[in-house]
Every structure is written in structure tokens, then in C-alpha cells.
Structure 1
């Protein structure tokens, strides 16, 4: 039987939270915890964000917070959202709302004092649960407690209508299914399938954020496979056609104890084509650092010397390569162990030191440094005295080499 009250959790004892709910009329039933905090507390998982819904108007909320000396930031005033900044962290306070108009991307809202009306505008039943801040009593208007108990993700009301209000709910349906669900609600799944092309109207940033969150959810492989079978991703990332490499990556992550990473998992879904990956990264508005990682993850290269690889392209990118491209689980495990607790060293020799040895500034120094670095890496990142000895030998050879030979000497490229 579903619990009738909110269980005791760490976040309910956060410093300043009781004072905040008292200020906002919690004892009079004017404010309640809502959404993810209630859902996750019932599931016994950590709560990331804390939200309060209130029957008070935004102006009344601001006035009460300021009178109580609680810092108030009007983060989304037109939608009734004010952030109360406590010493223990922020709490979003939002006035009860109903939708007036929607266009699939944005909504115009009106404020209300009707709790059921506020619940009715939310996306899924498991996100429309409320809890009294004093007694912990739960309020469930659309069967969310039963859905939570059976791990079913279900739209509130008509799924097609809810998707028409906000197209992003298609991706949210699958993200919540990957995180909380066991079996998809058939009506909701069919609605997402029929309206998949609505995703094209959304900003790339909103699609990116939902997709990256989905990829690290507990059941991402199964859900992405379902999405591909239903053609959900085809309108926005048509290059993703199979989840086989994602499945293999997830298995290797579990074997090595590696945390799931959204960029790495995105790379596993894409063809092994660095230029294509860069284009998709740009389309999804990934950060420059994320795009670089995506490109490196999709670039061919050996993984037999994990430390050399980490030195050349960075630890994170080397880990991506090991997990995605190692020829065997044994090779991946060996490389992973090589990197565990290892600090990437700096070459103990500088260009200035080579100039002091007699090399002319410019190409000669750059060429010598590459040769020294290659030998230093080949010797397992030799200690400083050995690095200096390598430098002496390389400089002596460069100074004694004929000019024509020096000019023709190829440099060793970096990956």
C-alpha cells in the first residue's frame, strides 16, 4: 500500500526550511512541498532540488520573505517563481498556476488558489504529488502514488494535449521512463510516437539538456532502444540508428566502476566519424569542451598505452577512448588501472633549456622538444635526470647534424 505521509529525509531538516514554510503559511495549508522532492523522497533516493507550491500571490511571497529577512530572488516572476535563498541552499517557491495559452514551447499562465488546477497542468502523475510541510500528509490528485509504486510514467490527462502544450514532454517521457519506469504507459508511448516530429520546433539547447540527462539514467540503454524503434530521435538526431555500442559501453562502465558520462554515451550512439560528431555537437549547442571530447572520442587511435594517451589528449578523453574503443575488456581494464591514481606529469625539459644548450629559437627547438618528449614517454615518463640526459643527446645530435638533414627531419605529430 502506498504511504500516506512523506517519510523522514535529510532535506526536511535543512536549516531554515521550517522557518521558510512557516513564513509562507505552511501551518495554514497555504504552501506545500511539490514535485521531484516529494517523488524522490518516496523512492528513497537523494533529492537535488527543493520546490514549494503556494496559494500566496507572488507579491505576497516577496513581501513575506523580505519581512522575515529571507533573501528573495524573483527568478521567474511572470510565471510566479521566486527563489528563497537559505543558508542551506535555494528553494524555489511558485504560486499555483493554470495555463491560459500554450504553443508547444512556452505557456502563458494565470495564478490560482486551486491545488488540483495546479496539479492538472503538470506533465506526469508522479510529478504532481504534494506534501504538507508540517505533517508530511500527501496530496495526490491523479493517481501518482499508484504509478510510483508500479513504476509507471503516465501523462496527466490526454497525452496528445499535454504534448501539444509543451513538445519537450516527449523527451521528458522517455527520460523519466529511463530513470523511474519499468514499463511505458501505452497511451503515452503512442502519443510520443505520433508527435515525434514536434521536437523539431524546440530549441537545440532544450533538446540537448533532456537528451544528455536521459543518457545517464539507470535504464538508458533499454529506453534509447525503444526510442529508436519508435522513430523518436529521427527528427532531431537522425544519425543515431542503433544502441549497440551504447549497450557495450554501459556494460564496460559497470565492469570498471566508471560513472556514466553523457558526452561519452552520446559518442557511443554516433558513427565513428569525428567530423560528423563535431557537426552534431554544434547542432546540439554543446560547449566547446564537450564538442572537443566528442570529436576525440570518435577519432581513431590506439589504446594500448593509456598513460601516453592521457598525456597526449587528456585524462577524460583517454578514458573515453578506453571505454569506447579498447579492443577487449582486458585491454580496457589494464588501461583503466594504469590511469587510476596517476597524475599526468609535465615534461621536465623546457625550450629555454634547449636554447641554453645552443639551439636557435624557433623550429629547431620545437623539433627537438618533440623528439625529447617522444623518447621520454617511450621510457615511461622518465625522471628529471633521465629527461635531461635525453635532452643532452637530442641537442648534441641536432647541433652536429648537417643543415640539410635538420631541415628534412620530420617532426612527430601529436594526436
Structure 2
């Protein structure tokens, strides 16, 4: 087999990473870069996370880092993972492992010095690529390089067995397909379809994490269509239907045309029926944070207001959500661009300014402040002088109504 080496990349020259290599003694061949950093560098993409696999025992890794005065966090000591906290970002160092037992959610592991054994427990061939940190030589035990070139996400070994080991691999299969895939691997797709009900055994937090990543992948729309056609989400998210994927397709097109970054929460709202109560139920089921839940509910609200008014009332993200989910065609695109460029102003009037005009402290001040603010929004956020005129008019109206009463 022809020797393949890792292309040059900025991350490979990180001083703190090179120093870590020296501490781990990479010249002996006992530590390699593994997974996403290798895969994404081969594709010419950006690398955000760097993982190392090593023959060193976890306790030895901890000791080596501590002696070198590198902050070491035993993030997953039982599973062999130590995080080295470096100047340019953390790096996970994990001892080679093999599975002793699995239950679909958790694994009991034993440590090994066999690279192929470690590769065999990983999910997909494209994620089981290792590279020598110095020479860049790539070690590929299961055909991951060919699969990467073919746009094929393929399980290592028997797909049904790999899914039985960790049910989340069903969603990971589709998430990686949405990012890297062309034609879905037939055996992997059949296994995911047959075991879709296994998703019900997973925590909703794990489901949410995978789904949100999938939704912003380049092939999200086509992949969700595939998942719906095969009933993958039916056991855990039956609310996501073909109609929702059609809305997602439109929203994705509008984001691209308006040069708006793809947003996972906006896209999750897009695939749900336009029903804030149902959106809240889904957000609760997925154990989203309060802020995320509120955003989903807001995104599914009724249309209303100009782009600047929505931006002022809902914030930039909330306004983009509501606008892109309720508008179509050129209106959706130009409105999104207007929201993105709009500098959200501060309302230049306080309750104290109304009290100075003679309004008694109490509910009248709050009511009048809202009245003036609405007029200020309707006039397109005029300056302080015009706002003062609006306040004067509101106070005059209040005095007249008070005298009549």
C-alpha cells in the first residue's frame, strides 16, 4: 500500500503541541494524532480539536505532564483520557483501549498497546486514522482513506454489533454522512433502520447534541430526508416530518443567500411544526437549556413587525429566527440582511424623565413608557429630540384624560 502522509497544516506547527510531543516521547512511536484532526487535515478543512492516542498508561501520562509542569486534568481517567491544558487549546491524550463490555450507552475498557485493537473499537473507518506527529505518516487499518475519498461513512466491522455497543452511533452515522457522505453505505443504513428503536434508550441530552450538529452540516437537508424515509427519528422525534425538512431547505437557502451563519437552534425550529407549545415540549424533551427553549418558542411565534422592529424586540438572533421562518423568497433574504446589519439602539427615555414631566410615580409611568416606546419603534427609532416630543405628547394626553376623569 502506498505510504500516505499528512499534509502541512498550521496546527502541526503549534509550539505548545510540539513541546507536548517531546514530553510524551513521540520519537519512540508510542503516541500518534488520531481521529478528526487527521481526517479534516486530509480534506483540507479547519481543525479545532486535537486528540492523541498513546501506549503510555493513563497514570504515566499524568506523571509525565505534571513533571513537565503542563496542567493535566484527568477528565476520563477510567477510560484512559487525560486533558493537557496548553496555551493554544486543550489536547486530549487517551491510552489505547479495547472494549471488555458494552450496554448500548457505556463501555468497560481495558488498556492495550495494540494500535489495531484501538482502531477496531472506533465507530467509522474515517475516524480511525492515525498519524505520526513528526513524520506525518498515516496509519489506516480499515480503509478509512479510501472511504474518505469516496464520501462513504462506513462502520468498522459489523454495523449491527457496533450499534449494539453504543446506540448513539445511529445518529453519528447520519451526522457524519451529512458532513462527509455522498451515497450512504447500504449496510450501515440498513443496520440503523433496523435498530432505530434503540434511540429510545439514550439520554435526550446525547440525542440533542448529535441532532444540533447534524442540522448545520452541509448535507443536513438530504440526510434528514433519508432519515425520515427510513423512520430513524420516529421513536424519539416524530414531530420532524417531510414538511419540516422542506422548511429547513428554504431556511438553509436563505441563510446562504443572506450570508448568515447556519444556526442549529434556528434550524431545529424550522423542522418543527409552527406551534410554540409543541416547540416547548420538544425542547423540554431534549433537555435544552432555558435560553435554548425560549429561543425555540420565540422562533415559532407569529410573524410581525419590520426587520428593525423585530431586531429591537427579539434581539438579532431571535429576529433572524422569526423572520427566516415566516418569510419567503427575496423578502426573507433582504430582511435577514437588514437585521444582520442593523445596530440595535437603546430606548432614549426613562421613567424618571416622565416623572420630571409631572407624571406621578406608579403604574402610569410604566404604561406611558411602553406607549412612547411603541411610538418610537413605529417611527423607526428617531433621535432623542423626537423621542422627547413623543414623551411630551403622551404626557399631554395623560393630563387631558386625567382632567376629564
Place the TM-score, normalised by the shorter chain, in its bin: over 0.9
2:182 is aligned to 182
Mapped to 2, the partners of 1:241 and 1:338 lie a distance apart of 31
> Mapping of 1:42-53 within 5 angstroms?
42-53=42-53
Distance in 1 between residues matched to 2:359 and 2:3, nearest whole Å: 77
Superposition map of 1:215-364 within 5 A: 215-242=215-242, 243-303=245-305, 305-326=306-327, 328-364=328-364
Superposed displacement of residue 90, structure 1: 1.1
Give yes or no for contact 1:21–1:133 (8 Å, CA) kept in 2: yes
- CA contact 1:15–1:87 (8 Å) conserved in 2: no
Q: Give the Cα–Cα distance (whole angstroms) in 2 for the partners of residues 240 and 23 of structure 1.
A: 49
1:33-78 per-position Cα deviation (integer Å, ceiling 9, x unaligned): 0001100110110011101100111111111112222221111100
CA distance in 1, matches of 2:250, 2:403: 52
**Deviation readout 1:318-350 (Å, 9 max, x if unpaired):** 111221111x32222332243243221122111
Report what 1:365 is aligned to. Answer: 365
Please give the TM-score of this superposition, normalised by the length of structure 2.
0.97
**Is the aligned partner of 1:17 residue 2:26?**
no
Cα 1:358–1:141 shift into 2, 3 Å: same
Query: Paired residues, what number?
Result: 403
Give the distance between the partners of 1:404 and 1:101, measured in 2 at CA.
82
* Deviation, structure 1 residue 202: 0.5
1:410 alignment counterpart: none
Give RMSD over aligned pairs.
1.4
Structure 2 runs not aligned, ≥5 long: none
CA distance in 1, matches of 2:65, 2:118: 22
Partner SS, residue 341 of structure 2? coil
Corresponding residue number in structure 2 for 1:118: 118
Shift of 1:9: 0.6
Cα distance in 1 for partners of 2:403, 2:13 equals 75
Aligned to 2:135: 135
- Cα distance between partner residues in 2 of 1:56 and 1:402: 82
CA–CA distance in 1 between the matches of 2:183 and 2:190?
13
Establish whether residue 213 from structure 1 lines up as the match of residue 213 from structure 2: yes
2:204 touches 2:286 (CA, 8 Å); kept in 1?
Answer: yes
Hey, what's the Cα distance between the residues in 2 that align with 1:322 and 1:380?
18
Instruction: From the superposition, tell whether residues 161 and 315 of structure 1 become closer, same or farther in structure 2 (CA, over 3 Å).
Output: same
Name which of structure 1's ranges 112-121 and 351-360 shifts more when overlaid on structure 2. Answer: 351-360
Aligned-partner Cα distance in 2 for 1:309–1:382: 16
Give the TM-score of the pair, scaled to structure 1. 0.95
Matched residue, 2:89? 89
* Farther off after superposition, 312-321 or 144-153: 312-321
Measure the CA separation in 2 of the matches of 1:83 and 1:43: 26
- Rounded to whole Å, the distance in 1 between the matches of 2:2 and 2:147 is 10
CA-CA distance at 1:2 after TM superposition: 7.7
The alpha carbon displacement at 1:371 in A equals 1.5
> What stretches of structure 1 of length at least 5 have no aligned partner?
406-415
Q: How far apart, in 2, do the equivalents of 1:403 and 1:228 lie? A: 65
Q: Which residue of 2 aligns with 1:411?
A: none
Kindly indicate whether the alpha-carbon contact (under 8 Å) linking 2:258 and 2:334 is maintained by their aligned counterparts in 1: no
| Superposed displacement of residue 389, structure 1 | 0.9
The superposition leaves residues 381-413 of structure 1 with CA deviations (integer Å, 9 ceiling, x where unpaired) of: 1100110011011101101214786xxxxxxxx
